[in-house]
Amino acid sequence: MDALDTTTLRAAGLKGSLSAAAALQQRANILHLTQKAEAAVLRPKDFGAYNHELRHALAGRICNLNGDQITADQYSGNAGTYADLIDPGNDGGNYDLEQLVNFIDKVATRPSDVTEEDIKTLQKAGVQDPDIVRLSELNSFMAYQIRLIAGLRLFKEYES
C-alpha cells in the first residue's frame, strides 16, 4: 500500500499534492499506523455484534456530528444497508439501535457527559461489554482521525 493513499489524506484533500507528499513522506509511518488503526476499528476480524457496514455508517455519523461531511462521504460508500444512519437526524429506530445510536452520539459530541448510567443503558439493551469497548474504540479513533484531518487541511490551505 502506498503510505500516502489513505482515507485521512483523501479526506484532507492532500492525495496527489506533491509538496504535501514530500513533507508527509517523512511521517509516512504515522499515516500507515493511522490506516492500520482504521482497519482495526472498521473492519476487524472479530467484529462482535456490529458488522463492517454498520461500523462505516457510525464512522460517517461521527464525522457528520463533528461537522466533517467530506470525511463522512469517505465512509458512506461502505455503509451498505446502514447508510441512512450517517444522518444524525436518524435515531436508529429502523434497526432497533436507538440506545446504541444515542451512546455513539453522546460519546462523539459530549464525551465528558458519559456516565456509568449510559453503559448500564446499553447493557440493559443487550449490548455486551466487549461490544461497548469496540464502540468506544471506534469513537476514539474517529475523534483522532477527524482532528488529524482538520490539521492536514490547514496544510492544504497553506499551500494555496
pLDDT for position 9: 76
pLDDT for position 108: 96
Q: Which of 7-11, 81-85, 90-94, 153-157 has the lowest mean pLDDT?
A: 153-157
pTM here? Answer: 0.87
- Domains annotated on the chain, with CATH: 7-159 (1.20.1290)
- As given in the structure block, the three cell numbers for residue 15 are 492525495
Q: Are 156 and 12 in contact (CB under 8 A)?
A: yes
Enumerate residues 6+ apart whose C-beta is below 8 A from 13: 70, 153, 156
pLDDT for position 56: 98
Q: Are 53 and 76 in contact (CB under 8 A)?
A: no
pLDDT tens per residue, range 112-148 = 999 999 999 999 999 999 999 999 999 999 999 999 9
